[in-house]
Amino acid sequence: MQTIAQLMDRGTMYQREPSWKALGVTIPDPSKTDVFRALEAAGLANWNVHTEDMFLESGKKVPHRKAIVRGSDNVVLATSGGNYTALQNEEAFGVMQPACEKFGMTIEGAGPLGIGDKVWMLGKLPSEMSVEPVRGDVIATYLLLTSGHNGKTKWRAKPMVMRLICTNGMVMTEALGQFASFTHHSKIKDNLKLVEKIILNLGDVMERTGETFSKFVERKLTFEQTQAYVAEVLGIDEDEVEELADENPVLASRFERIMALADHGTGQEFAPHTLWSAFNGVTEYIDHVRPTEAGTTKGIISANRSAMFGKNAKLKNRALQIATKMVH
């Protein structure tokens, strides 16, 4: 295994912007943009998604299946079963509008994924809802909404926090309180009305988040304990770390880089050799190092998408859950 000093000497490439900025439209003046202006800017307005019957070439109707069609250009986004209820983008994201009006949430970004079968929007809460687990290390509060026009993707709302010093994105999951998730069935619009009220109470969620992160700061870790934490996050048997380079070079490189970031990553001077620095080593790797390792444009887009919505987002969630169990 290489030492941390050797890893830092060889240099590490970084993507300085948060992952979501590579996946959609960044709103140029968020303070003057509400949900509906953001939909226009991101090309998500007036889609008029609806379902249509499907037919074979012979003219026979396909039973129990519908085509999901975007009316603005007649693109078939997907097919679904008969219980699917179309939810317009204005409805899916309009639940954030009361938060914009009542306490100044700003819309930072939005966009489609794929051919538009998945869509997302990111809102940022006012600075007074930020938390500071250690002086100088500010964590801003966001709300990520995702929806789909494919019969599979649920409507989801998740609080998300971002460490401003290095723009690490940390999606909160069950460890700090899962927010909301609904399938596209006939009652989804009624459910969204309830969510509007929940969004206005995000301050309570963030207060608990700040308390948990403060415990991360207080929990000191030895080098061996940091190794054990990173190994558990990556699903590596702690006893097999030394042999990892021969058996799985890719995973070994990931492990080594995260260990280096846990010790020398951006902002680690705020709380060195702690669970906070180890946790941020994981998120910094996923959000800023992993995309640069991808090499190709397609690979970079895939890595950014994974960091926000896919496998690597789940890895960040896993890092958070494991760390939270260590302090409770």
All structural domains of the chain with their residue ranges: 4-14+212-326, 19-46+87-208
Per-residue pLDDT of the chain in tens (328 residues, 90 and over written 9): 443 333 333 455 677 788 888 888 888 777 777 899 999 999 999 999 999 999 999 999 999 999 999 999 999 999 998 788 899 999 999 988 888 887 788 999 999 998 999 999 999 888 888 889 999 999 988 888 999 999 999 888 888 888 988 877 777 655 455 567 777 766 767 767 766 666 766 777 778 888 999 999 999 999 999 999 999 999 998 778 888 878 888 899 999 999 999 999 989 999 999 999 999 999 999 999 999 888 788 998 999 999 988 899 999 989 999 999 999 8
Closest CA to 22 of 145, 180, 167, 234: 167
Residue type, 81: G
Q: Return the bridge partners of 144, or none.
A: 122, 158
Q: Indicate the helix (H) or strand (E) that contains 72.
A: none
What does the alpha-carbon distance between residue 120 and residue 171 come to, in Å, rounded to a whole number? 14
Task: Answer whether 302's CB lies under 8 Å from 191's CB.
Answer: no
Helix (H), strand (E), coil (C) string for 89-131: HHHHHHHHHHHHHHHCCEEEEEEEECCCCEEEEEEECCHHHCE
Strand 137-148 to strand 131-134: parallel, antiparallel, or no bridges (unpaired)? antiparallel
- pLDDT of the residue at 194: 66
